[in-house]
Amino acid sequence: IGGPSMLRSAAKNHESVTVVTDPSCYDDILAEMRGNGGATTLETRRALALEVFRTTGAYDTAIATWLASKLNGADKFPEKTSIQLVKQQDLRYGENPHQEAAFYRRSTASEHSLVNAEQLNGKPLSYNNLLDTDACWAIVREFDAPGVVILKHQNPCGSAEGSTIAEAFDRAFACDKKSAFGGIIAANRTVTAEMVRHIDDNELFVEVLVAPDFEPDAIELLRQKPNLRVLATGGVDKPDTEPEYRTVDGGMLVQDVDVVAEDPAAFTVPTERKPSEAEMDDLLFAWKVVKGVKSNAILVAKNHAGIGMGPGQPNRVDSCELACKRAGEACKGAVAASDAFFPFRDNIDVLASYGITAIIQPGGSIRDEECIEACNEFGIAMVFTGHRHFRH
């Protein structure tokens, strides 16, 4: 009979059996027995039995997960499933002060995932810090060149690539200096002392700074800010291949993680004018970033920088207006990305009025022809990707 069977059997008889799975409990149990005539209390035995079933349940889940990973054609969404989670830390509170919360580690977390990041400086992470840091890190790790994303309330207010990580920060910060205050910064390369000095020169208050690692001189500068949370992931993993879980009332939604995996060679250009090489380069950058903007999402980009963002509007026209107004005069000659198709040509009309010259979007609307005609009227090049990237 194996260990788990013995533990379960003992736990089932907890009314008369004390079963211990963790040596760290020995001292407390011995102290209770000394003060209780050599016996443990029923309350203690129940608590210990609960720990047994939690331990053996996690053991069974780990085996089932491993076996599923070894089977070809294993059902991605089986009829029954379990998730093994281990508490990483208690949080001060949840999304709001009246909500209790904790942070859990998934047993299958990849090596350089956020949950495995080492905190090098700063106050304990909050629930909202973790949510926003995750959203920020998910965008920047898809960049190929040195890149920085600045995010507030789940939306990337600044995003850019550069020849160095310091230049990438400068360009991301320039996208929206006002919104960057109090945000999260994620970098996909080693953070240098130069980048930290640029943050300081702009007197930018930052909640969290996450990156693969940091130069020693950069850490020395960052530790002068005792409240700034600094996280080192140790590397940049590819986007998670594990399912994504979200709770709804009484249930759980499970889906693949959304990544920009489509091949640009499969994109189509239905307009008379085709994008230039520079425009296409910016469109591909914008396509990666708009995935991280709350739907309905529009991102205006120029020279590999997200200079205007229109997030979370109930209609796409308002998102277009918002993105272009944020970009200001720089909107002229820029490109735009839309996370979903345009239902009417009015979106094109708005973008054209601000000087947008090229657009990337999924296509697939019953009014695609109407939108194509509008682009042709304005001399705008439009790319259809055939893939949607909603984010709710």
CA dihedral 292, 294, 299, 303 (to 10 degrees): -20
- Which ranges in 154-269 belong to alpha helices (H)? 165-175, 177-180, 193-201, 216-222
Q: Which pLDDT band holds residue 348 (cuts at 50, 70, 90)?
A: very high
53 lies in the same domain as 95: no
Classify residue 392: in a domain, yes or no.
no
Q: What is the pLDDT of residues 173-203, one digit of tens each?
A: 999 999 999 999 999 999 999 999 999 999 9
Single-letter residue type at 328: G
224 lies in the same domain as 356: no
Q: Packing angle between helix 316-327 and helix 346-353, nearest 10 degrees?
A: 10
66 lies in the same domain as 89: no
Q: What is the pLDDT of residue 30?
A: 95
- Closest by CA to 375, choosing from 318, 336, 339, 340, is 336
Q: What is the pLDDT of residue 79?
A: 87
Classify residue 245: in a domain, yes or no.
no
- Closest by CA to 30, choosing from 49, 16, 44, 43, is 44
Q: What is the pLDDT of residues 150-178, one digit of tens each?
A: 999 999 999 999 999 999 999 999 999 99
Q: What is the pLDDT of residues 97-145, one digit of tens each?
A: 999 999 999 888 889 999 999 999 999 999 999 999 999 999 999 999 9
CATH of the domain at 215: 3.40.140.20
| Mean pLDDT score across all residues of the chain | 94
**Domain boundaries, position 169:** 85-232
Indicate if the pLDDT at residue 208 is higher than 80.
yes
- Closest by CA to 312, choosing from 296, 289, 336, 290, is 296
> Cis ω on the peptide bond leading into residue 121 (within 30° of 0)?
no
Classify residue 360: in a domain, yes or no.
yes
184 lies in the same domain as 209: yes
Q: What is the pLDDT of residue 1?
A: 55
What is the number of other CB atoms lying within 10 angstroms of the CB of residue 317? 19
3 lies in the same domain as 121: no
Q: What is the pLDDT of residues 213-235, one digit of tens each?
A: 999 999 999 999 999 999 999 99
Indicate if the pLDDT at residue 85 is higher than 80.
yes
Q: What is the pLDDT of residue 65?
A: 80
Q: What is the pLDDT of residue 99?
A: 97
- Would strands 229-232 and 244-248 be described as parallel, antiparallel, or unpaired? unpaired
Q: What is the pLDDT of residue 78?
A: 85
Total number of domains in the chain: 3
Which residues form the catalytic set? 12, 153
What average pLDDT does this structure show over 338-363? 97
195 lies in the same domain as 92: yes
Kindly state the percentage of the chain with pLDDT values over 90. Answer: 84
The contacts of residue 242 (CB under 8 Å, 6+ apart) are: 106, 108, 257
- Closest by CA to 205, choosing from 130, 114, 122, is 122
Torsion sign over Cα 292, 293, 299, 304 = negative
What average pLDDT does this structure show over 251-278? 94
Classify residue 188: in a domain, yes or no.
yes
Q: What is the pLDDT of residue 75?
A: 80
Classify residue 143: in a domain, yes or no.
yes
23 lies in the same domain as 114: no
Q: How far is CA 121 from CA 14, 134, 147, 209, 220, in A?
A: 45, 18, 22, 10, 10
